[in-house]
Amino acid sequence: MTIPDWDNYICKHCARYYGWLPASQEFAARIRKNHVKYFTLSDTQAIDIFMLEMEGILVRDGNKMLPEVVICEEEAGKIPIILDVVRPPLREAVIYGRLQDLLTYEEADDNELSSAWARSYEGRKRKKVKEGHDKLVSFFPFDIVNFDPNDNLLNPSLKNNKLYQALERIFELQKDTDTFLLMVTTPIYDVAIGTEDKFKSDFQRNTEKYPEFSSSLKNSFGVINFNGVEEHKKIAICFVKSLIYPAALKSGWSCSHKGIYVYENPKCNKYLDAVIECVKTSDEKAKNSYIADLVRVTENMPEYYPKSVSSKDKKIISHLESIKAFREAGRQLDLQ
């Protein structure tokens, strides 16, 4: 998957500005912590980090460090850039490794390798995965998890999708908190056939099982059949119903979607970004809240930002510019 130039990716910033930012502000105000614990796959430009810092959600300490920010990066070559950009060193190191590998790592995988670790190049690589896993797991729970891996949750199909398994693990690992904010991003232009089939069958089953859902479909789209709903809207509904809810429910979380945003990348391919507030709950309560949430999603979401329109959104352009200027000002201050 090609990496966009985040600094000039205006459409993506629509999701940050209209979605991540207000939800994070509201959440941070509610939990009233000095330092919000934030997990991110920020990539080298770290726009999300600087946006949250500029808006006062992430606060540097007396040594100019960001104390509760944990970054994971799979490309070794990007780590020095991140360390340079986020400056000065974070209180915690950048965790090296592919998120899905780190979160789905299982100790049993490495029993045979352990004796050959020192000498074997591949063995040492596995050891790094284990170390990255242990380190990352030790940081849970977070207040805000930004699951924006520049990879696809919808392809391959869910059963074989390691990234989806990683998302499930996040819900599990958040067990020691009562609430957190989750941002999930995925491309939706390349959906695996298996995923689409699952979406379709879940959709049909739910229209039959939950009258609230079918009536909200009818109110919003005039139809209740899968094929009759506009592509990005039905993916948003299915994303919530078939991906988020099962993963959350498995670990005892109820989800309330603060917003779903669909935007286009520079090649006009669509991406979906969901902002979800998760609250620990009993199974029965969760089930009821899911239906209400699904109805809200069906009737009010997603917000759509096509490239042709959003790339000219002055408010977004100026906000993105101000983040870059803020980031640069910090660097200049360090150089003095």
Task: Please spell the DSSP secondary structure of 21-61, one letter per residue.
Answer: HHHHHHHHHHHT-SS--EEE--TTT-HHHHHHHHTTSS---
Cβ distance to another protein smaller for residue 178 or 334: 334
- Least Å distance, CB 142 to another protein, is 18
Cβ distance to another protein smaller for residue 79 or 249: 79
- Least Å distance, CB 302 to another protein, is 33
The kind and range of the H/E element at 272 are strand 270-280
Strand order, beta sheet including 303-305: 95-96, 69-73, 38-40, 144-147, 179-187, 270-280, 253-264, 303-305
Side chain identity at 209, as an amino acid letter?
K
- Least Å distance, CB 65 to another protein, is 8
Task: Residue 16: name the closest of 180, 183, 176 by CA.
Answer: 183
Q: Are 148 and 41 in contact (CB under 8 A)?
A: yes
Cβ distance to another protein smaller for residue 121 or 227: 121
Neighbours of 42 (CB within 10 A): 25
Residues that bind another protein (CB under 8 A): 63-65, 76-77, 79-81, 83-84, 87-89, 91-94, 96, 116, 119-121, 124-125, 128, 131, 135, 334-335
CA 26/CA 122 separation, integer angstroms: 45
272 CB-near residues (< 8 Å, 6+ apart): 185, 186, 187, 188, 232, 235, 236, 239, 260, 261, 262, 302
- Least Å distance, CB 178 to another protein, is 28
Side chain identity at 315, as an amino acid letter?
K
Side chain identity at 281, as an amino acid letter?
T
CA 324/CA 45 separation, integer angstroms: 9
Cβ distance to another protein smaller for residue 56 or 77: 77
Cβ distance to another protein smaller for residue 130 or 319: 130
- Least Å distance, CB 101 to another protein, is 13
**Angle subtended by helix axes 231-238 and 283-300, to nearest 10:** 170
Q: Are 198 and 242 in contact (CB under 8 A)?
A: yes
Cβ distance to another protein smaller for residue 63 or 227: 63
- Least Å distance, CB 86 to another protein, is 9
Torsion angle defined by CA atoms of residues 230, 233, 234 and 235, in that order, rounded to the nearest 10 degrees: 120
- Least Å distance, CB 111 to another protein, is 18
- Least Å distance, CB 84 to another protein, is 6
- Least Å distance, CB 74 to another protein, is 10
Cβ distance to another protein smaller for residue 135 or 280: 135
CA 291/CA 251 separation, integer angstroms: 18
Cβ distance to another protein smaller for residue 91 or 162: 91
Cβ distance to another protein smaller for residue 140 or 239: 140
